[in-house]
Chains A and B, each alone.
Chain A
Amino acid sequence: MTAQVATSAHSNPLDLHGADRLDDVSRPTKHDDAWRYAPHDLLARLLFGSTTATAQQAPAVAVNRIPQLDGPRIVIVNGVIDVDQSQIAALPDGLRISTFAGSATEPTDPADDVDSGFAADAFLIAIERFGSGGVAIEVTDGHHLDVPIHLVDLVAPNQTRNTPSRSAVVRLGEKSSATIVETRIGTGPVFGGLNTRTSITLESNAALEHILLQNLPETQIHLGRVEVSQHAGSTLRAHSFNLGASYGRVAYEVHLLGAGGQADLSGLYFGTGAQTLDQQITVVHSARDCTSRQSYRGVLDDESTGVFNGGIDVRPGADGTDAQQSNDNLLLSDRAEANTQPRLEILADDVACKHGATVGQLDDSALYYLRTRGITANDARRLLIDAFASQAVDNIESDAVRAWIRARIGASHA
């Protein structure tokens, strides 16, 4: 279904209802596996189009900086770079940041080498057709950036343009390394959303730590896709924290194109109220001797729904693949729901592939044990929830980022 859209994306623009709304034909439906748990009625209300909102019109919001790290920062308000709040002057050696308008995949833009083999969907096409532009980040060969690059999206929807669509294109040159943190926050009571695409290319032996913190208000919808092309010997460590929005979608598609690549993806989703937090993860092994890990944990309270749809796709010739996937869910309420769907397709030899999923509740005997030591029922619950969630936070490399994420998770679920 989505593949058909992909082939027609460039040659045959979508038929749109009005100027900026995806029509009923283009939008995915419940019958698309990848969109089964999406709120289709709300998706129909998303208004794309090149936003007229500017940074100046957006309410002044104190953008969340990473304490102790005042490094490169790109602040994007309603899809438009906010120069005042950004910090892209005096960049460290080996780092180039530029901005572009429109789609990131047109021939003139800085990302013409983006791998086009990624599955498309209507929202990707919305970015291509109506995207407000974005940012290109390039780390030159052999450079190691020790300060994280922070990309902050702020969404403040208005009635006519409620869903900014923007791109980020990241390229790490050979043997370079960097950490990129993407934070998505929003404000205001108006319905809306954020539609993003981050296209990452890791050249041989490059290493990237990519952290995505989605914390939009519950009036909004988050559609975030991350595409990664990895060349030989490169390493990706991705950590997503899917916390906010009424529907929070985080999609990673990783293509291991060169031998010996490593993709280590982990994530935490923490649902309350009626949230649906949807992780759509696919790793494609196209080369020999690559390793991939998908390790996702969900904590689901109230009537929230967690979705993990995880694919391991081992193409012919990708011998020596070592791929693992796990999805563990902690249900804090009997109205909460966890949905796990593994998709494995293995067409190579000598492949080690493991996957597993669990759904559990807080351990009553552990709660009791903690309480007999004087710890209140509330604190005991928090201690156990933190213990479950901490695995996703513990393996963030940067101390400062880890502490900051920890604080943000604590703050949004106090």
Chain B
Amino acid sequence: MLMVENLSTSIGGTPILEGLDLSVGAGEVHAIMGPNGSGKSTFAHALAGRDGYEIGGTATLDGVDLLAMDPEARAAAGLFIGFQYPVEIPGVNNMYFLRTALNSVRRARGEEEIGARDFLAVAREAMELVEMKKDFLNRSVNAGFSGGEKKRNEILQMAIMRPRLALLDETDSGLDIDALQIIAAGVNSLRSPERSVVIITHYQRLLDYIKPDVVHVLVGGRIVDSGDHTLAHYLEDHGYANFVNHDPDSAPGRPLTGTAS
């Protein structure tokens, strides 16, 4: 479904990602873990189409070249990014925003738009999923939301957009355990054979609730190791020290526990 090969990204000549490879099959859940500053968010934004990167390599979703498209076209192609730092947009009503977003991708796909009334039903269902109160819809997008509310709003958007591939960037950071469980339950209920999920995190905590098929370690702009969910526990116990300054083309930076994908 998602195929990333030799992806490199630099900003103003400074390399951030340096030859990242990742392949995510339909229905799979992958986790990407890595220390602060290793390039996890840069990866998410390079896929989403943020301006200001010099980009090399390829990234395709269902065989479609993502890197050639505008951000909105990538969304229409089925990509969804859950932002680490969701943007506050004062004055733009959340409900209106959500409906505009859904109808924009529907229009781009040649599908019929959804009227206000039908959309309300869609939104209600999605809100139950993330246990969001009704008044959320009438507020401005993320404006004045608490950290946890912003993250829930991201999952709400995912539930409404129903993407082919969702890439959730540190959706768990800053959440208490109740909020974490709500988010995890939301993501789990959206798991399906047609939908893949990539979870970026630097704690294994979330992975106790959303069990990944594959865990990748991102250090220094590359995937330096991949394994099953036990790799997350290894990282929790040992940190990333063994991977830093390690040449990924030689031996693995840890005892072999999982299967490389």
Chain A residues with CB under 8 Å of chain B are 363-366, 368-377, 379, 383-384, 386-388, 390-391
Task: Establish whether residues B71 and A387, one from each chain, have CB atoms under 8 Å apart when the complex forms.
Answer: no
Residue pair B75, A372 in contact (C-beta under 8 Å): yes
* Cβ A376 vs Cβ B72 within 8 A: yes
> When A and B form their complex, which 6 residue pairs have the shortest distance between CB atoms, in order from nearest?
A387-B91, A374-B75, A374-B105, A373-B101, A371-B71, A369-B87
The dominant DSSP class at the A interface is helix
Report 13 cross-chain contacts, Cβ distance below 8 Å, ordered by A residue.
A364-B51, A368-B87, A371-B71, A373-B97, A373-B104, A374-B75, A374-B102, A374-B105, A375-B100, A383-B92, A387-B89, A387-B90, A387-B92
Q: Which residues of B contact A379 (CB under 8 A)?
A: 100, 104
Q: Flag if A371 contacts B70 (CB, 8 Å).
A: yes
**Least CB separation from B44: chain A residue:** A372
Q: Which B residues are closer than 8 A to A by beta carbons?
A: 48-51, 70-72, 74-76, 80-81, 83, 86-92, 97, 100-102, 104-105, 108, 140, 157, 161
Give min CB distance, A381 to chain B, whole Å.
Answer: 12
CA distance A362 to B71 in the complex (A): 17
Contacts of B48 on A, CB cut-off 8 Å?
Answer: 372
What A residues does B83 contact at CB under 8 A?
Answer: 369, 372
Q: Provide the residues of chain A in CB contact with B80, threshold 8 Å.
A: 372
With beta carbons under 8 angstroms apart, the residue of B72, B92, B105 that contacts A377 is B72
- Seed contacts A372-B83, A373-B75, A383-B92; 5 additional CB < 8 Å A-B pairs: A369-B89, A371-B70, A375-B104, A386-B91, A390-B91
Contact A374/B92 with A369-B86, A383-B100 known, Cβ cut-off 8 Å = no
Q: What is the bound-complex CA distance between A384 and B101, given in angstroms?
A: 14
Shortest C-beta distance, B186 to chain A (Å), equals 17
B89–A384 CB distance below 8 A: yes
Please measure, in the bound complex, the distance between the C-alpha atom of A85 and the C-alpha atom of B74, giving whole angstroms: 53
Check A373 against B161 for contact (C-beta < 8 Å): yes
A contact residues around B140 at 8 Å (CB): 387
Which residues of chain B have C-beta atoms less than 8 A from A387's C-beta?
89-92, 140
Which of A366, A390, A391 meets B89, CB within 8 Å? A366
CA distance A376 to B76 in the complex (A): 10
Shortest C-beta distance, B78 to chain A (Å), equals: 10
Most buried by B among A364, A384, A387: A387
Closest to B85 in A: A365
With a 10 A CB-CB cut-off, give which of A366, A369, A388 has the most chain B CB atoms: A369
Q: Is the CB of A377 within 8 A of B70?
A: yes
Chain B residues within an 8 Å CB radius of A364: 51
Which of A368, A374, A376, A386 sits near B51, CB closer than 8 Å? Answer: A368
Q: Report the separation of the CA atoms of residues A369 and B75 in the bound assembly, to the nearest whole angstrom.
A: 11
A393 to chain B, nearest CB (A): 11
Q: A376-B104, A383-B100 are in contact. Are A371 and B90 (CB under 8 A)?
A: no
Interface contact B97-A370, CB-CB below 8 Å: yes
**Given A368-B71, A387-B92, A390-B91, A374 and B86 contact (CB-CB distance below 8 Å):** no
A366-B97 in contact (CB<8A): no
Are the C-beta atoms of A383 and B105 separated by less than 8 Å? Answer: no
Q: A373-B75, A374-B76, A377-B72 are in contact. Are A368 and B91 (CB under 8 A)?
A: no
**Residue among A368, A370, A374, A387 with the highest chain B CB neighbour number at 10 A:** A374
- A-side contacts of B76, CB under 8 Å: 374
Question: Which residues of A have CB within 8 Å of B91?
Answer: 384, 386-388, 390-391
Contact of B92 with A384 in the complex, beta carbons under 8 Å? yes
A379 to chain B, nearest CB (A): 7
Residues of A close to B75: CB separation below 8 A: 371-374
A368 touches B104 (CB 8 A): no
Contacts of A365 in B (CB 8 A): 87
- B68 → chain A, closest Cβ, in Å? 15
Give B207 Cβ to nearest chain A Cβ, in Å.
25
Of all chain B residues, the one with the shortest Cβ separation from A389 is B91
Among the interface residues B51, B76, B88, B100, which one has the most CB atoms of the partner chain A within 10 A? Answer: B100
Asked if A383 and B97 sit within 8 Å, CB to CB, the answer is yes
Residues of B close to A376: CB separation below 8 A: 72, 104
Name the residue on A nearest B82 (C-beta): A372
CA gap between A371 and B51 in the complex, in Å: 12
- A379–B70 alpha-carbon span in the complex (Å): 14
- Chain B neighbourhood of A371, CB < 8 A: 49, 70-72, 75
